[in-house]
Structure 1
Amino acid sequence: MRKRLVLAMAGVLLAGSLTGVGRPAFADHCDPSVQGAECEDVGPALEDFVDIRQVPPGDTGVRAGRGSFTSRCGRNENGHRNSDNHIVTPGVSNGAHHVHDYVGNLTTNGFSTDESLAAGGTTCRFGDRSAYFWPVLRGRTGVGAQTAASPSPSPDEPGGASEGNVGRILLARSVTLQFRGNPVSRVVAMPRFLRMITGDAKAATNGGANARAQWTCTGFTNRLTSRYPLCPRGGLVLRVLDFPSCWDGQNTDSATHRTHVVFPGANGACPAGTRAIPQLRMTLAYSVPSGPSFAVDSFPEQQHNPVTDHADFENVMPDRLMSTVVSCVNRGLRC
């Protein structure tokens, strides 16, 4: 059971510490105008963190073939963010109740359509207008402090402090968008406008059936954990977000956004009735504050549990570029 913490004021530093990692900071969910008010913490909890050196080597995520294609789209240097999700909650503003970082398509918001995305600009090379997005990661040391580059949201801002998402938004140091091969078969092209999600933004209350959170540190990529990793000094926190890669051959979306593209089996083979498509792996690297003082944005009831990490993708590559991706993957090249 998650230990819930009670703090005196937002941004206060806990008196305790974890061995060798400094003093943790957690944000509470109270009215900051009431000085000294006692408030119930909205997470994360101390048990949500683990020293990466204590995680045993093992599974490294979805198995893949030798070939790959990397789409270079930057790391959201232009600050394209909102709390929408046009895949899961289309036509709704603040449908996600937490802030997303976007790369690729410059127009993505809750009202995006296939047509609007096809007409949008992009941060990616080679005309890749795909929409790639994930919840932001925040540093929570000195919660409440603002910077010009990435202020904490106001209580009334969508996805903001009134929903427990507080702290300085951390810009990823690097974003790697890699499309990988299947280890047992050739892949076919993704259809244009294919929509996919990975992970479960409500995994803390839904259970782990759809959870796909994978966290680690630079230098320790042979060990993945569903908890926030505490990295050795100088190490970067990595979020590894693997997408499903076995397509039903017909649909670009489904009612649950999960049944039209599913994950392969443990050996990498796709289930009967599906065919392998290039498998998207997002790897996001961050420099975070020392100690357990960072968290992913979440729905309020999820308490910033790291198991809720997730990401979304809509393929808006030109057909010629997708053909290049398939060729690189099937020929075992690294493009």
Structure 2
Amino acid sequence: MNALSIVRNKWGITAGLAAAVVVVGAAAVYLSGGDTEPKPTNVSNAAGYLGAESSPSSPSLSAASAQPSATASARAGAGAKPSTPADQPPPIPKAGWIPVDRAAWNAQVAAYNALKIDPVPAGVGNLAEFRADCTYSHRLPDDPIVAPGLPGASHMHSFVGNKAVKASTVASDLTKFTATTCKPVQDHSAYWVPTLYDNATNKPVETTGFRVYYRALSKDSKGQMPMPSGLRMISGDAKKKKPTPRGAQGQFYCAFYGPGDLDGIARSTNGNWPICGGNATLHFMMQFPDCWDGKNLDSPNHKDHVAYGSGNACPSSHPVKIPAITFDIQYGVKGTPAGYYLSSDKEGKSASSMHGDAFVMWDVATMNKRTKNCVFQRRTCDNNGYQK
């Protein structure tokens, strides 16, 4: 993956470069500021590049309101064989409201609350985040969140992270089959997006970089809790079919070093896709919610159990402040006059149907430690911990 650029616009949307992997920030991500924040090399209206939408304002959240806690999941080695007897059918994936395992969540919270913060080496940045860097794993017309147990029922998806994910995947599978394309390997989660296709050739264009941030969107870490195991959610709208011309919200953009235009030096014939100049390639940013209802790991529309906070608070309906996932996706292409299309909108050939799914399953001790050290303490962490 090529090292790419740093971008900030007048709303404070930032994107940083780290470890030769593009790090493009989302709206309100770097509100915490700090003298380690990268200096911008390009100014543009980056607000249009985020697929997520804000939620209504919310009342304040006290530390006591975040009473639930997460899981101490059993974990087998990568490649372990399923233990289901031959005469017993595999578990049927559930849909709709899926309640959290209360005992497991309470155990995780207790462990998190008892956890001491590790000593911080000199020079660590103050962006409240940790991350996983992932690569392309596989492609299937499956969606274990939207169409659980129904292979082939979805448009084509490109998966990163857990290598075993398919339509029938349930949360326990993520702890049994832990082979992953992510670093750190303690992230057993699965992440996926609709497959991108070259409009001229109809051939898939897979991601060449896929960074998943877990970060604070607020300036205040009061009540910060870890992510519960098995949480699943969706950002974006697969049914949205609106054009994405230059400057539109939810479009792909170009990332690069030095001066240039995020919207590209030109556009595809239909106007929906940028054509990048210089060393720039296509990117997409996607922001997930940072508040959870503390009760359910999923909901019928895969969104109602989570919500976006407002300012430094979560709404009373979703009082548990969790790390906000951000997808920072790179495609190793520069754009063409023919443009592209997503598997979720082959006819319209716009980028507005771009969306992402996250099926979260970390080693619990790692999730707790990264949340406590990095998000709660508001320090910058990479794949291995504190980042200098």
Question: In which range does the TM-score fall when normalised by the shorter chain?
Answer: 0.5 to 0.7
Shift of 1:273: 2.9
Counting only pairs closer than 5 Å after superposition, residues 42-121 of structure 1 correspond to structure 2 as 56=45, 58=47, 61=50, 66-73=127-134, 75-76=135-136, 79-97=137-155, 99-120=156-177, 121=179
Within 2, Cα distance between the matches of 1:221 and 1:91? Answer: 46
Residue of structure 2 equivalent to 1:331: 377
Within 2, Cα distance between the matches of 1:333 and 1:200? Answer: 32
Residue of structure 2 equivalent to 1:140: 199
SS of the counterpart of 2:147?
Answer: coil
Q: Is the 8 A contact 1:130 1:314 kept in 2?
A: yes
Shift of 1:84: 0.4
Structure-2 change in CA distance of 1:223 and 1:236 (3 Å): closer
Residue of structure 1 equivalent to 2:204: 169
Alignment RMSD, CA only?
3.1
Shift of 1:297: 2.4
Q: Is the 8 A contact 2:272 2:339 kept in 1?
A: no
SS of the counterpart of 1:175?
Answer: strand
Shift of 1:175: 1.3
Does the alignment pair 1:185 with 2:220? yes
Within 1, Cα distance between the matches of 2:187 and 2:272? Answer: 32
Structure-2 change in CA distance of 1:316 and 1:54 (3 Å): closer
TM-score calculated relative to the size of structure 1: 0.66
Residue of structure 2 equivalent to 1:316: 361
TM-score calculated relative to the size of structure 2: 0.57
Shift of 1:255: 1.1
Within 1, Cα distance between the matches of 2:359 and 2:255? Answer: 28
Structure-2 change in CA distance of 1:174 and 1:321 (3 Å): same
Candidates 175, 185, 188, aligned match of 1:126: 185
Q: Map Cα deviations across residues 83-108 of structure 1 (whole Å, 9 max, x no partner).
A: 100100111112222x2111111111
SS of the counterpart of 1:303?
Answer: coil
Within 2, Cα distance between the matches of 1:221 and 1:184? Answer: 31
Shift of 1:222: 9.9
| Aligned partner letter, 1:172 | T
Does the alignment pair 1:288 with 2:333? yes
Within 2, Cα distance between the matches of 1:287 and 1:181? Answer: 29
Candidates 310, 321, 331, aligned match of 1:276: 321
Q: Is the 8 A contact 1:242 1:282 kept in 2?
A: yes
Q: Is the 8 A contact 1:288 1:294 kept in 2?
A: no
Residue of structure 2 equivalent to 1:307: 352
SS of the counterpart of 1:308?
Answer: coil
Q: Map Cα deviations across residues 281-316 of structure 1 (whole Å, 9 max, x no partner).
A: 111112325433332423457623210000101111
Within 1, Cα distance between the matches of 2:219 and 2:330? Answer: 29
Q: Is the 8 A contact 1:196 1:313 kept in 2?
A: yes
What are structure 2's unaligned runs of at least 5 residues?
A: 1-41, 55-125, 243-247, 265-270, 382-388
Q: Is the 8 A contact 2:342 2:350 kept in 1?
A: no
Q: Is the 8 A contact 2:49 2:250 kept in 1?
A: no
Does the alignment pair 1:262 with 2:307? yes
SS of the counterpart of 2:296?
Answer: coil
Moved more, 268-277 or 183-192: 268-277
Q: Is the 8 A contact 1:80 1:106 kept in 2?
A: yes
| Aligned partner letter, 2:168 | F
Structure-2 change in CA distance of 1:194 and 1:105 (3 Å): same
Q: Map Cα deviations across residues 129-180 of structure 1 (whole Å, 9 max, x no partner).
A: 1011111222233x2xxxxxxxxxxxxxxxxxxxxxxx22223222111111
| Aligned partner letter, 1:197 | I
Candidates 230, 233, 248, aligned match of 1:196: 233
SS of the counterpart of 1:288?
Answer: coil
Structure-2 change in CA distance of 1:56 and 1:114 (3 Å): closer
Structure-2 change in CA distance of 1:197 and 1:305 (3 Å): same
Q: Is the 8 A contact 2:46 2:262 kept in 1?
A: yes
Residue of structure 2 equivalent to 1:11: none
Structure-2 change in CA distance of 1:231 and 1:238 (3 Å): same
Structure-2 change in CA distance of 1:137 and 1:261 (3 Å): same
